[in-house]
Amino acid sequence: MPGSVLARPRPRPRTVLAALAAPLLLTVLPAVPAHAATDVFTAASVTRTASGYHVSWAASAPVDVAATTDPSGGGTSTPVGSGGAAGSVDVAGLPAAPRWYFKLTPAAGSPLVVADRSLHLPNARNFRDAGGYRTADGHWIRMGVVYRTNKLSARPCSTARPGRTGRAGARRSC
């Protein structure tokens, strides 16, 4: 129509936030040190169960599994099982700890450290580790470094322990 002005529709805030968040995620994750278990592991996961943990993997060599509380896999560890190139182990009877990590050591190649992604926090059920994913070039994002959640507002800063959120020792800024 002559004389009318066509207005461009305004993007919804959700779309704008998604567009802004994506570059941030791409900037943060590649900076996190990755495990060099490139040609050994093609899959690995840990799931917390009612009786302990279920650890599974797919690798190019047989694997020994050890439990540790150190996200780097160093320090003291407890052997909990082993299996072939594709296998799994159910782990029960571990003592109470802030978080258990499982070091998968292949017969040949670099070890990989994995944990249950969820931190099982009662007031932030979706709070989880952003690590444990395999990158396009075959490396693995290190666990215990970057966390994500959709909502921490259920636990206000005034009632939270100063500087700490949950069992992982993650820092929270309010």
pLDDT of residue 148: 84
* CA 64 distance to own-chain centroid: 21
pLDDT of residue 21: 41
pLDDT of residue 173: 53
Asked if the structure places residue 7 within a domain, the reply is: no
Asked if the structure places residue 20 within a domain, the reply is: no
Give the pLDDT band of residue 134 (cuts 50, 70, 90).
confident
Residue 54 sits in a domain whose CATH number is 2.60.40
Asked if the structure places residue 43 within a domain, the reply is: yes
Name the least confident of 22-31, 44-53, 94-103. 22-31
Query: 94: number of CA atoms within 13 Å, CB side?
Result: 26
Residue 23, helix vs strand vs coil: helix
Name the least confident of 45-49, 146-150, 151-155. 151-155
Residue range of the domain that includes 52:
34-148
Query: Going by DSSP bridges, is the β-strand pair 147-148/128-129 parallel, antiparallel, or unpaired?
Result: antiparallel
pLDDT single digits (tens) 75-92: 899 999 999 999 999 999
Asked if the structure places residue 21 within a domain, the reply is: no
Q: Report the number of distinct structural domains present in the chain.
A: 1
Average pLDDT over every residue of 22-35:
41
pLDDT of residue 152: 63
pLDDT of residue 124: 76
Whether this prediction's pTM lies above 0.85 is answered by: no
Asked if the structure places residue 18 within a domain, the reply is: no
Do 41 and 139 meet the contact criterion of CB atoms below 8 Å apart?
Answer: no
Give the pLDDT band of residue 26 (cuts 50, 70, 90).
very low
Residue 39, burial from CB neighbour count under 10 angstroms (0-12, 13-18, 19+): middle
Do 59 and 35 meet the contact criterion of CB atoms below 8 Å apart?
Answer: no
